[in-house]
Structure 1
Amino acid sequence: MTGFRIVDKLQKIEEDIQSSQLKYHAKRVLVSKEFTFDAAHHLHNYEGKCKNLHGHTYRAVLGVSGYTDERGLMIDFGDLKEIWKQKIEIYLDHRYLNETLPPMNTTAENIAVWIYEKLSEALIEDQRYTGARVEFIRLYETPTSYAEARREWMEVE
């Protein structure tokens, strides 16, 4: 096994690599980012522990696909984080979900679809991302239990 090596020369654009070489392919790719938030809720019309007010540390996994731009980027992870922070998380983190979400039973299934819709709207509003679309939202309510909304289900029904 070889040891760690510091590069001799940092590659420079237009000297060592041309701008036209940055976009390696023209294929659709998926970018995924995870977020966590803490929230309280309770379920209506439900007999079980969840009918009482309680909280979760949720984990949301967002999957977005599209085509790379001239730099080889589909969407910057930082841009995805900004969309999450400004358009979605403000309704979720440290909130009483029954109050901040549209009228619904605040099940993981319903929240996953709501996140899907909010992210889809945000991608349509911001036209920087060629062909970008939400492929899936996976919302973990506990470390071992999640609900998922997928594009193929959302567009068909």
Structure 2
Amino acid sequence: MRTPGEFRIVDQLQRLGEDIDHQELRYHRKRVLVCKEFTFDAAHHLHAYEGKCKNLHGHTYKAVFGISGVPDDVGITVDFGDIKTIWKESIEPYLDHRYLNETLPKMNTTAENMVVWLFEQLEMALSTRIHQTSEATTRTEFVRLYETPTSYAEARREWMI
């Protein structure tokens, strides 16, 4: 008998239909949270603000997306690759290596304004791009936008509805 911490090579690769049945792939029917992070570099400045940020400057931002749902019949809530596709096609083109005052809707480009825009973009993309069933509805739970490694703004589902 092997101990849990002992190194070993797998004796036999598990096979679907022989070692595990399709109906065993989903372990539960509970809502879970899936998160994915992205970074982007952008420039902006703030209007009607007396401080350093009134001048044109840049940040390396980090966006964290929290999406919840009930796993499908193979145990996946939302594919990480699908979240990446949403980011690459629907959100990143407006942000990465851009002048945010030009590419975002008319607003003061504060983290507080931008995080709500990110929430709206993700929610819209989830509703149109991800297959939704009555049981496995995915939804945006939160978006967190770091402007610096220690400063962020957050939009949560309960505040957006």
Same fold by TM-score greater than 0.5: yes
* Number of aligned positions between the proteins: 155
Q: How does 1:74-85 map to 2 (within 5 A)?
A: 74-85=77-88
* 2:144 matches 1:141: no
- SS at 1:111 equivalent: helix
| Aligned equivalent of 2:129, options 126, 130, 141 | 126
How far did 1:128 drift?
1.4
- Report sequence identity in percent: 68
Farther off after superposition, 49-58 or 122-131: 122-131
Q: TM-score, normalised by structure 1?
A: 0.96
Amino acid at match of 1:4: F
Cα separation, 2, equivalents of 1:92 and 1:72: 32
Give the ranges of 4+ consecutive aligned residues of structure 1 lying more than 6 Å apart after TM superposition: none
Segments of structure 2 that go 5 or more residues without pairing to the other structure are none
SS at match of 1:56: strand
**Aligned equivalents of 2:37 and 2:55: distance in 1?**
28
User: Structure 1 residues 128-137 or 6-15, which shifts more?
Assistant: 128-137
Q: Please, which runs of 5 or more residues in structure 1 have no aligned partner?
A: none
Q: Supply the AA of the counterpart residue of 2:54.
A: K
TM-score, scaled relative to structure 2: 0.94
- Structural mapping, 1:63-74, within 5 Å: 63-74=66-77
